[in-house]
Structure 1
Amino acid sequence: MNARRRHLRTAACLTLVGLLACLPLAAAFGSVDEDDMVLRLSAAERALPPDRLPDLDASCAALMDEDGTLWFGRNGDDAAQIASLTKIMTAIVAADWLDASTMIEVTPEAASVGESSAGLAQGDSMTFDDALKALLTASGNDAASAIAQAAGARMLAQKGSGGDAYACEAAFVEAMNAKAAELGLENSFFANPHGLDFDAFAQGQYSCAADVATMLRAAMQIDLVRANIGFSQADITVQRDGAPVTLALENTDALLGSYPGACAAKTGYTLAAGPCAATAVNRGDGHEYYAVVLGSSSKPQRFVDSAALYDWAYANRSSLRAPISDEDIAGLAWGECVAFTVAWFMEGW
């Protein structure tokens, strides 16, 4: 009896294979981007139909969770400009050297960086806590350089040397690249603390969506950074000409306060990078997600893309499984391929 069942099972499998061979592949798999990766397998390998994938405009994207699992990637390892998302790494490195109450002074060099500014003036001083808000909420290039120079001065002093503002900033940038190696970032190189990538600042810096997701995950594990990367607006106090001055800061992010669970956001834009964003969502269910989109077609679209990644994650987390070995990759790809194809066939039947 068991032998007969085995023969029947074999015959059924062969019949199924024959039916699958007769089906048009385009109809079975739909229009999927073979470069989109879902838990180490391409969308095509998983035979995911278009409605099971996030609808994205961005040229590069990544979605990571709290334990470092990369759930989704679109050209996730491709080198790209990341503009002010660089400031996430600036915050990470600075937090190794500065306390919340450390006073940061704005040098002439920091005040004159240009482009995105927190409104800091030469001679201003503020706590590192407030400087982080100027860095992460207002995306101030002035704040980035001021922080880098303050931390870099400590780095040089520890080595028994010193230097001007440029030397201090150079020491800090060296530490940024050392931290990148420590975090396992394989496709990143930093040349400044703010992310400008043109004219005098075009020095070959680059990163990728997957690396930025790893950076954001690391930043969210630092209490001081986590506490300062989730403001849609904030006020800081600087000492200016011997008197306290309040500066009102605004974040260009559109998810904070509007998308459920949004708890962190850093935006960026240059002509070379295009609109980009790195955000985090935590709905108190034990999971935290980090979405990165690079090269969106417009500034509003980067938030549409980010929301699409989160919507996809919450809709599909329970139905997708990550492979744990190369053999598992092959088996999982074939198993999901058959499952989706059979489901499609039965629905059509």
Structure 2
Amino acid sequence: MIALARHLTPFVLAAGLLTAMPAQAFETKARHALVIDLDTDTVLLDKDADVPMPPSSMSKLMTAYMLFERLKSGSLSLDDTFSVSENAWRKGGAASGGSTMFLNPGAQVKVHDLMRGIIIQSGNDACVVVAENLAGDEATFAAAMNRRAKELGLTNSHFVNATGLPDPEHYMTAHDLVLLAEHIIRDFPEFYEIYGETKFTYNGIVQHNRNPLLYMNMGADGLKTGHTNIAGFGLTASAVQDGRRLLMVINGLQSNKERSEEAERLMSWGFRNFETVTLLKAGQPISDADVWMGEEETVPLVSVNDLKITLPRAARRDMVAKAVFETPIPAPIQAGDRIATLVLTGPDMAKLEYPLVAGRAVEQLSFFGRILASARNAVFGTAQPAAH
């Protein structure tokens, strides 16, 4: 079939021509980093995002996810109480040297307090209490975490505990952390808002959320910090500005100060240097394709859905958009049939392709109509579909 590359109209070009890849490199001190625009799943920055790493307390996102699911299913209530075992107290209490909710052994603690203890205070003791009360012991809970993680698409993660404490077999990738954060934001909006709370008081002790972006005027509303000696300082974070939500994971920073500075720098860079625009509205005709043996001579090319893409702010003027399709397209054509491809190209970007469909149905000419059309084509030499 003859392939036709037809430039889009100036109106469409003016709407913005986009790329899903950053047009410029950007350095970071983090050993692992990933920044994406959530609405379009556009990767703005990727540094070893698919290399397994110790996630430290960032893996508590998975612990919380397991708790959220039980709450949403109705099998658990926020007012239910869990028992604090001696094991949970010893492994996660103040004596362990890690983050703690300061639970007392033998105490009965409400689920809504434990949830905040995990999210805001990063309490290791709260995580072990949840694991033991939901699954019997931490190892069984970790096995359930692994099964659910695979179902969610976390293909490069493995959990051996509920806390994120160091273990060679406990790892995640920045990519999996972003995917898990996306699930939490979209699946549990009623619980996600807790990640934006800056402090929580339990047992008479006030503790503050360690997420540094929550204290900056940049629209941050979650998610989770992490730190161990082997992992360094890390952060899984999200922020919204002008309706755009960015997700970011950084890990392997040298200090709390460096984590704070790098998190602010990368998030600000993502908002400042990229924009999300709607290239096409669903059903908006962008070009017409000639039809062979149809009751109408042309058929409009449209997008099924709104086409929103994120691009570097400076990239518009250098982008080229083309509608690529067979010509002419044989009738009959059903509305919604994929008959063309929108191709976006430009410097420093990979070629992007999006499907275009028939905006309306075009019936085939009648038998006698086809005979007349064939005769006319024989006389005047009208092009016919041919093998590519």
Equivalent pair of 1:129/1:224 in contact (CA under 8 Å): no
Q: Does the aligned pair in 2 maintain the 1:77–1:208 contact within 8 Å?
A: yes
CA distance in structure 2 between the aligned counterparts of 1:65 and 1:175, rounded to whole angstroms: 30
- Whether the aligned pair in 1 keeps the contact of 2:20 and 2:42 (CA below 8 Å) is no
C-alpha separation in 2, matches of 1:196 and 1:70: 29
Report the counterpart of residue 73 of structure 1 in structure 2: 46
Q: 1:310 aligns with which of 253, 267, 285?
A: 267
Given candidates 112, 120, 142, the residue that maps to 1:129 is: 112
Query: d(CA) in 2 for partners of 1:75 and 1:301?
Result: 19
* Pairing partner for 1:105 from 72, 83, 86: 83
Alpha-carbon spacing, 1:69–1:149, altered in 2? closer, same or farther (3 Å): farther
Tell me the equivalent position of 1:183.
152
Describe the SS at the equivalent of 1:336. coil
Distance 1:103 1:148 in 2: 13
User: In the superposition, relative to structure 1, how do residues 122 and 259 fare at CA in structure 2: closer, same or farther (>3 Å)?
Assistant: same
Rounded to whole Å, the distance in 1 between the matches of 2:261 and 2:160 is 30
Q: Structure 1 residue runs of 4+, over 6 Å off?
A: none
Partners of 1:225 and 1:106 lie apart in 2 by 23
Q: Does 1:63 align with 2:46?
A: no
Contact 2:193 2:221 in 1 (8 A): no
What's the TM-score once normalised by structure 1's chain length? 0.68
- CA positional deviation for 1:265: 3.2
1:263: Cα distance to partner? 0.6
Structure 2 gap segments, 5+ residues each: 1-18, 71-75, 276-310, 325-340, 350-388
Structure 1 residue aligned with 2:373: none
The verdict on how the C-alpha distance between 1:124 and 1:69 changes in structure 2, with shifts beyond 3 A counting, is farther
User: Does the residue aligned with 2:268 lie in a helix, a strand or coil?
Assistant: helix
1:25-40 mapped onto 2 (5 Å cutoff): none
Residue 253 of structure 2, aligned match among 277, 296, 299: 296
Identity, % of aligned positions: 26
Q: Which runs of 5+ in 1 are unaligned?
A: 1-38, 154-167, 237-244, 339-349
CA displacement at 1:224 relative to structure 2: 4.4
1:299 maps to a residue whose letter is N
1:1-349 alignment, distance < 5 Å: 41=21, 46=23, 48=24, 53=26, 55-67=27-39, 68-97=41-70, 98-113=76-91, 114=96, 115-153=98-136, 168-197=137-166, 202-221=167-186, 222-236=188-202, 245-283=203-241, 285-318=242-275, 319-320=311-312, 332=345, 335-337=346-348
Specify the code of the residue in structure 2 equivalent to 1:231. E
How much does 1:331 deviate?
Answer: 7.0
**Match of 1:275, SS?**
strand
Relative to total residues, which structure has the larger strand share, 1 or 2?
A: 2
2:185 is aligned with what amino acid? M
DSSP 3-state at the match of 2:118: helix
Q: When you count helix as a share of all residues, which structure comes out higher?
A: 1
SS at match of 1:269: strand
1:202-244: CA deviation from partner (whole Å, max 9, x where unpaired): 25111111111111121223134313212221124xxxxxxxx
Give the whole-Å Cα distance in 2 for the aligned partners of 1:277 and 1:177. Answer: 21
Equivalences, count: 261
CA RMSD of aligned residues (A): 2.8
